[in-house]
Amino acid sequence: MVDWQVAKLVEAHDETATARTLTFEIAGWPGHLAGQHVDVRVTAPDGYQASREYSIASGAAPAAGAAPAAGAADAMGGAGATSTSGAPGGSTLVELSVEELDDGEVSPYLVRGLELGDHLEVRGPVGGYFVWEPSQSEPVQLIAGGSGVVPLMSMLRTHGAAVAGAGPAGHPSPMRLLYSVRAPEYVFYGDELRRPAALADTSMTIDFVYTREAPSGADRSVGRLTRAELETLSLPVAGNPLTYVCGPNGFVEQIAGWLVELGHPAERVRTERFGGV
Amino acid sequence: MGIFSPGFVGRRRDKNPMLPPGQYEVTDFPVLSAGPTPTIELSDWAFSIRAANGDLKAWNWQTLMAQPIDDITVDLHCVTRWSQFGMGWRGVSLDRLFDGVDTSTEYAMASCYGGYTTNIRTADLVNGQAWIAFQFDGEDLAPAHGGPARLLIPHLYLWKSAKWVKNITLMNHHQLGFWENYGYHDVGDPWKEERYS
């Protein structure tokens, strides 16, 4: 494990009313896989420190200074294009999306305090199981609850880059996202997920389920995802998909349990959770 | 070091001497798990210990419950940085279950329903440091927290306290478990902040 590294905030925008996406420039970043986390440490002027883990939103990146994979940049266009370097001098741009927690210590600072040009420290990447790599060829189902979409977005971006880099043959693995979210204004990466460039990747399907409030004209009434909807809106067992579920614990527990009931082998369902029972 | 984040104050609530370095306190017992929660009927449940010489000792739910049961109040520390204090558990000390087993071998591997594994030094499993726990906070242990029974090794990061534990195998050779294969620390002492290898 590498030691703490300095990261400089070079771009930031509000993702929702309670979440912010921050792009850091990190010199000598060792690279990461889609779905990994990073430890973030902030230090007050008197030396007091606090650390938390956050999921990486940008697509997989090689080690700083290494040549990026063909087509890895800009696959889904515009703001999503922090998937590889693009930063000067052997540094890497790494994007995090942080939801402000009501009782948080670090998240309020990252969402409302940290300014462009400010520094903090990062260490990572961390985790190696809840990851997707372009070398995987099986169909992939992603299921997000709320801010659980962040590591799945990294996978979508990495997939988009792989599709763009694969030429006319495309990437062999279809990727489908089922995104459960309270209301339209809480959707992360809304522009990017609805952008024609993303939709042009025909191996990618994105479905939204709104639990409290739906956009006008939605063809589904609001409410929590049901087991029947899960079956309809996710890749069937017959194709032997690999399914990644990320969100609050209650959501993940319910969805993962249903997936097993629907016949998905437990070892084909990978989960990442936050919060208590 | 000189890297300061301007304007960061922090809550300072974590200046608690009971908190290992880099941790913060929670009270809601978060759940972390790499896959679906396995469903285990008590009538199907079994736990075993395999000694390095191959000998097997095994318990079903009734024979486990026939063991002396400890009330355990401990602080738990997760590598994802949360700590929770004063958590009340009930369980059977591994010292009881190791009775008659040669624990002089250096290494152990815990294996679980659902396929999870974690490696532990045998020295961390003996002398009143580890339990097979089946109740938390006065209730049967919830499946999401490892019920019906999990390993409880409070002095190590919580990924070592394997949920849904099924077997402990003592070994003369070193081997890595699930998270240890992904770069998490071999030993996992929170007071030494042994998060990653």
Tell me how crowded residue A257 is: count the other CB atoms within 10 A of its CB: 17
B112 three-state secondary structure = strand
DSSP H helical segments within chain B, as ranges? 61-65, 94-97, 178-181
Put simply, whether B16 touches A (Cβ < 8 Å) is no
Q: Are B84 and B157 in contact (CB under 8 A)?
A: no
Judged by CB atoms closer than 8 Å, whether chains meet at A109 and B38 is answered as no
Q: Which pLDDT band holds residue A76 (cuts at 50, 70, 90)?
A: very low
Residue in B156, B149, B119, B109 with CA at minimum distance from that of residue B132:
B149
The pLDDT, as a whole number, for residue A77 is 39
Mean pLDDT, chain B, integer: 95
Q: What is the pLDDT of residues B54-75, one digit of tens each?
A: 999 999 999 999 999 999 999 9
Nearest to A248 by CA among A150, A153, A162: A150
Q: How far is B112 from chain A (nearest CA, A)?
A: 13
**Mutate: best of A116, A141, A267, partner B, most B CBs <10 A:** A267
Per-residue pLDDT of A201-244, as tens digits, reads: 677 889 999 999 999 888 888 999 999 999 999 999 999 999 99
DSSP assignment of A97-109: EEEPPTT-SSHHI
- At residue A116, does pLDDT exceed 60? yes
Arithmetic mean of pLDDT over chain A = 88
- Report the C-alpha gap between A111 and B149 in whole angstroms: 40
Distance, CA of A33 to chain centre: 11
Q: Determine the Cα–Cα distance for residues A131 and A151; give it in Å rounded to an integer.
A: 8
Where does the pLDDT of residue A200 fall: very low under 50, low under 70, confident under 90, or very high at 90 and above? low
* Stretch(es) of chain A classified as CATH 2.40.30.10: 5-126
Residue A192 has pLDDT above 60, yes or no: yes
Specify the CATH number of the domain A140-274: 3.40.50.80
Nearest CB to B31; choose among A50, A51, A277? A277
Q: pLDDT at residue A197 above 80?
A: no
pLDDT confidence of residue A275 = 84
Q: Position B110: which residue type?
A: A
Contact B30 A275 (CB under 8 A): yes
Instruction: Please compute the mean of the pLDDT values over residues B15-37 and round it to a whole number.
Output: 92
Give residues with Cβ within 8 angstroms of A228, minimum separation 6: none
* Complex ipTM: 0.94
Pair type for strands A19-27 and A5-16? antiparallel
pLDDT of residue A162: 86
What average pLDDT does this structure show over B78-95? Answer: 97
By C-alpha distance, the chain B residue nearest A270 is: B35
Confidence of residue A72 (pLDDT cuts 50, 70, 90): very low
Which three-class secondary structure state does DSSP give residue A209?
strand
Decide if pLDDT at A256 tops 80: yes
Asked if B134 contacts B152 with a C-beta cutoff of 8 angstroms, the reply is: no
Q: Select the residue from B5, B25, B27, B31 to test the A interface by mutation, using most A Cβ atoms within 10 A.
A: B5
Distance from CA of A218 to the nearest CA of B (A): 31
In the predicted model, is pLDDT for residue B178 greater than 90?
yes
Specify the higher pLDDT residue, B18 or A82. B18
> Which CATH superfamily, name and number, covers A5-126?
Translation factors (2.40.30.10)
Q: Is the Cα dihedral B139, B140, B141, B143 positive or negative?
A: negative
CATH 3.40.50.80 in chain A, residue ranges: 140-274
What amino acid is encoded at A173 in this protein? Answer: S
Q: Is A266 exposed, middle or buried (0-12, 13-18, 19+ CB in 10 A)?
A: middle
What pLDDT shows up at residue A82? Answer: 43
Contacts of A243 in chain B (CB under 8 A): none
Q: Each residue of A28-68: pLDDT tens digit?
A: 999 999 999 999 999 998 889 999 999 999 999 998 876 55
d(CA A68, CA A147): 28
Closest partner residue to A277 (CB to CB) among B8, B14, B144 is: B144
CB contact at 8 A, B64 and B47: yes
Closest chain A residue by Cα to residue B10: A105
Question: By the CB < 8 Å criterion, does B2 face chain A?
Answer: no
Residue A61's pLDDT is 95
Residue percentage of chain B with pLDDT more than 90? 92
Q: Domains plus CATH for chain B?
A: 45-192 (3.90.420.10)
Q: Of A221, A205, A225, which is closest to residue A213 (Cα–Cα)?
A: A221
Average pLDDT over residues A160-186: 85
Question: Do A276 and B31 lie within an 8 Å CB cutoff?
Answer: yes
pLDDT at residue B132 is higher than 70: yes
Q: Is the model's pLDDT at B11 over the cut of 70? A: yes
Residue A201 φ/ψ, nearest 5 degrees: -75, 95
Name residue A167's amino acid.
G
pTM of the model: 0.93
